[in-house]
Amino acid sequence: MSIDNVRLSQPARDRLVYLKRTTGITQWNVLCRWALLLSLKDTSTPLVKDIVTDSNVEMTWKTFAGQHGDLYLALLKQRCAADGEVATDDNVARILTVHLHRGIGYLGADKKMATIDGMIATVIPV
């Protein structure tokens, strides 16, 4: 099972542009990884199910996941199971898109996340 490409919506792209500027993190994939994990950490089901991936931001799964692709894929499959869904290619890809976009929304909505220190503080209590 594999995911070939990761695409973003225009609103998600716009939030990432803002985050790239405020955090100094220049790579889309790094911010997207943070966003995905932040959303997966939230046990609630994302409200939005259908997302139009209409921006010019697209990356391969290898670029998105890097050397930890198997781990990210396992987390997505586990989330499918936790949500009572079969981990088919389509379901895993949909879960990725929905959680990635919810996480980008979380990153963009929380002013503390506008800095690297703020992002780290959300996962490592001080």
- Domain CATH for 63: 1.10.1220
Relative to beta strand 5-7, strand 58-60 is: antiparallel
How many structural domains comprise the chain?
A: 1
Confidence of residue 93 (pLDDT cuts 50, 70, 90): very high
CA atoms of 46 and 62, how far apart (whole Å): 25
**Does the model's pTM come out above 0.85?**
yes
Quick: pLDDT tens for 39-83: 999 999 888 767 888 888 889 999 999 999 999 999 999 999 999
Would you say residue 27 has pLDDT above 80?
yes
Distance linking the first and last C-alpha atoms of the chain: 38
State the residue range of the domain holding 50. 5-123
